[in-house]
Amino acid sequence: DADVTQTPRNRITKTGKRIMLECSQTKGHDRMYWYRQDPGLGLRLIYYSFDVKDINKGEISDGYSVSRQAQAKFSLSLESAIPNQTALYFCATSDLRDRVSRDTQYFGPGTRLTVL
């Protein structure tokens, strides 16, 4: 079983709809992240969370919100989707307690979101 899972894997929605992307991990990591990938732009950080009570904005948080429901779950919401939010979305985790590789992030398989 995959350590980091994302649901759904693909989603098509319409402008103005609210949509939630979910991420779950079984790695026991404390930190979780949401990124989006656009062609030619690499990976850009949307939000990150260092523990359940800690949520922080990343580089491109406008138009998004997140919820850390438990250590293992981190969801990303688009309150009112717009076409330029069409992208690949990735969840990632890392473990601050691992002194050797604490900045190494482990990614889920991604969600392809299309906003029409």
Peptide bond before residue 83 is cis, with ω within 30 degrees of 0: no
**Residue selected from 25, 36, 48, 75 as contacting other proteins according to rule CB under 8 A:** 48
CB 107 within 8 A of CB 92: yes
33 binds other proteins (CB under 8 A): yes
Binding of residue 56 to other proteins (CB under 8 A): yes
The CA angle 18-28-5, to the nearest 5 degrees, is 40
Q: Find the binding residues for other proteins in span 74-93 (CB under 8 A).
A: 90, 92
Does position 96 bind other proteins by CB under 8 A? yes
Q: Is 101 in the site for other proteins (CB under 8 A)?
A: yes
- E-assigned strands of 2-115? 4-7, 10-13, 19-25, 31-38, 42-51, 54-57, 64-70, 73-78, 87-94, 106-107, 111-115
DSSP state of 109: -
Closest separation in Å from C-beta 110 to other proteins? 5
Return the residue of 13, 20, 22, 45 that touches other proteins, per CB under 8 A. Answer: 45
| Residue nearer to other proteins on the CB measure, 43 or 52 | 43
Name the residue type at position 15: T
Which residues are near other proteins by CB under 8 A? 4, 31, 33, 35, 40-45, 48, 50, 56, 58, 90, 92, 94, 96, 101-110
